[in-house]
Structure 1
Amino acid sequence: MREGTSLTSSIPFSLVGIDHVVLLVDDMDKALGFYHEVMGCRPGYSYPALGMEQVWCGASLIVLWDVTHHGGQKARPPVAGGRNVDHICIATGPFEHEALRAHLESHGVAIHREAMHGGARGMGHSFYIYDPFGNMLEIKGPAEYPDGRA
Structure 2
Amino acid sequence: MQFLINIDVDNLERAVAFYRDAFGLRPGRSFGDAGMEMLGGDAPLYLLAKEAGSTTAGGRQRDYRRHWTPVHLDMVVDDVEAAVERAIAAGAKLEGEIRVDSWGAVAGLSDPFGHGFCLLEFRGRGYDEICS
TM-score > 0.5 by shorter chain: no
Higher relative contact order (CA 8 A, sep 6+): 1
The TM-score bracket by the shorter chain reads 0.3 to 0.5
TM value normalised by structure 2: 0.39
